[in-house]
Structure formats: C-alpha cells, structure tokens
Amino acid sequence: MIAFRSIGTILLLAGTLVIAADPTPPTVPPVLEPLKAKIGNHWAFKGMVLEFQANQPLTEDQFKAIESLGIRRIAIGNAKGIDDSSIKRLAKLNLEGFVTDGSQLTDEAFRHLATMKSLKNLSFYHPAFGKKGFTGSGFALLKDLSELETLTFAGTSTGEEAMAAIGELTQLKQLSTWHTQQTDPRNLYLLKLTNLRSLKLGNSLTKYDGNPRQPCLTDVTLGTIAQMKSLENLELTEMRLTFPVLEQLSALPNLKKLKLEGVDISAKDVDKLRAKMAGVSIEWKPMTEVEIKRLQDFLK
C-alpha cells in the first residue's frame, strides 16, 4: 500500500510538472490589440511567443504592456516601426528568441542586441532593405553571446560585410541565409563556424549595379561546404547541381540529411548520389518546367 501511494504521488507530481511546463497564455493587453498581437505557439520557436505587427513605432504604453507580459520570445512582422531605439528598449527584456521581418535598423542596433545574454535564436527577414547605415557588420558584436545557437538572415541588400561578421559567431549551431547580395561563391566565412550542425543556403539577389550577375551559391560553394566536418543537416536551394559536384559532400563524416529544394538536377544524378551516400537521407523532388524557367530567370 505504501509503495502504491508512493507511485501515485510520483505520478501526481509528474502531472503537475507537465502542467507547469505548459501554462495558459496570458490575455493580450488591450493596448496591443491594434498591433494584431497574439500569444501562443510560433513556427520559429519552442515555447510561448508574443507575436505582433509594428508598421508604426511602438508607443510608451505598448512597450510597457510588452514588458509586463514577461514573455521572452518575440516575433514582429511588418516591422517598419522597429528601429535602433526599439531594439534598445526590447533588449531590457533579455529575450531568448527574437524575430523581425522588415525592421529598419542600422548597425548600431547590434550594440543593444549584444546585451541580450540569454539570446538563443535570432532571425532577421528583410532587415533595413536598401537603407544606408546597415551593412550587417554589427553581427560581429554578438560573438560573446554564448547562448546564441540559431541565426537566420534573409532578404537583405547587404553582402560580404555581413557574411564576414557572421563568420565571427563561432558559437552558432544552426545558420540559415538566402537572398542576400553576397557575391563571393566561396563562402569562406563558413569555415570559421566549426560548431555548426545545420546549414541552409540559398542564392543571392541581383544587385542591379550594372555588373554581371554573380550568384553566391555555385559549384565552387560545395568545395567549401565539404570541409565543414561538423555538419549534420544541409539544405541547398535555388541552384543547378550535378553528381560530380555533390559527391564532394561524401567527405562529411557526420552528415545525416541533405535537402535539395528548388535545385535543378537530373533524377539520374540524384540516384547516383543516394548510392554514393547511402547513410544520408536525401530529400529532393523534380522541378516542373515552370519552376526550372523561374530558376533560370532568377540566376540570370
């Protein structure tokens, strides 16, 4: 009987812990309702997230409401109202996760981000596109954030300076980047990221500066990736590939999954690759004629 009660007590405590780990989301404060705010799950994070729109600068009352919630993961869409001063204010929350789409930052914002010592997951989509004062060089200021593991940087008018700075973030375990204006297909900054386990690379945008198009993702890139011995997951998008180029990846001792998304390659070459890399899960589907034409136009 005593043993039965002990087991029952353990189960009760376990149930209590499960409930405590998944609390009921707080009510959205009325002052945040104009921002279409909601609290709950989000694709970018595990755990409770505050998600809202910010096409205008936040008011003092809105900042106070955000602070009162105590939520440490924030995702901001349509973030035209988020500038350096906004980042300075939000940095006081010592966030674990932070996503913005369309923020209007300069490199000075990274000084404030560097104070978020608990930051684990950071994503910038379309940051300060075409805006002077944002080169992405400020990423290097985040090199002492020991908790930072995941970074996404996509849809930007910056290039080599940003990627060189990201190369200083040797603590990263996951990096996703595409649609930058980087022009060096060697991507040598990647070789500094010796703790990286997951990598997603997509091609660069056209600069429209009168110079010939130079994609940042070509056959040359695979020579660099093949040296990244820590990689376990790799996703490549928006490029043309062949078996002789891809088979270089067989040199990666820890690679478990390879995803080819929007990659123009023959089914015959994929079959060869699967035979060559039998221990790696390879995800690929043939592109339609429309998709191939779209890729050709994109890479011109």
Instruction: Give the residue numbers spanning the domain of 249.
Output: 38-299
pTM value is: 0.90
Single-letter residue type at 70: G
Indicate if the pLDDT at residue 91 is higher than 80.
yes
Beta-ladder partners of 261? 237
| Cα 204 to Cα 5, 163, 189, 294, 296, distances in angstroms | 63, 12, 16, 15, 14
CA distances from 48 to 9, 24, 25, 75 (A): 29, 9, 7, 11
pLDDT band at 17 (very low <50, low <70, confident <90, very high): very low
The dihedrals phi and psi of 252, each to the nearest 5 degrees, come to: -85, 110
* Inside any domain, residue 254: yes
Does residue 3 lie in a domain region?
no
Lowest mean pLDDT across 92-96, 180-184, 204-208, 229-233:
204-208
User: What pLDDT is attached to residue 22?
Assistant: 56
Q: In what order do the strands lie in the sheet with 38-40?
A: 38-40, 49-53, 73-77, 97-101, 121-125, 150-154, 174-178, 198-201, 233-240, 257-264, 281-284
Strands (E) across 91-197 are located at 97-101, 121-125, 150-154, 174-178
Residues making up the chain, counted from first to last:
300
Residue 261 in domain: yes
CATH number of the domain enclosing 124: 3.80.10.10
Q: Is pLDDT above 60 for 18?
A: no
Q: For residue 221, tell me if it sits in a domain.
A: yes
Residue 5 lies in a domain: no
**Rounded mean pLDDT of 194-222?**
92
CB-hemisphere CA count at 13 Å for 203? Answer: 25
Q: Is the pLDDT of residue 10 over 50?
A: no
Cβ contact 72:49 at 8 Å? no
- Is 32 among the domain residues? no
pLDDT average, residue stretch 34-63: 95
Q: Running DSSP on this structure, what letter comes out for residue 50?
A: E
Average pLDDT, the chain: 92
Residue pLDDT, tens place only, 146-189 = 999 999 999 999 999 999 999 999 999 999 999 999 999 999 99
Please tell me the predicted confidence (pLDDT) of residue 249: 98
Q: What whole-number distance in Å separates Cα of residue 65 and Cα of residue 225? A: 45
Domains identified in the chain, total number: 1
- Residue 18 maps to a domain: no
Q: Is 233 helix (H, G, I), strand (E, B) or coil?
A: strand
What CA–CA distances, in Å, run from 263 to 33, 221, 250?
42, 14, 18
Question: For residue 27, is it within any domain?
Answer: no
Say how far residue 52 (Cα) sits from the centre of its chain. Answer: 19
* Cβ density class 106-142: b for 16+ within 10 Å, e for less: bbbbbebbbebeebbbbbbbebbbeeeebbbbbbbbb
Residue 218 in tokens: 């070509």
Residue 154's pLDDT is 97
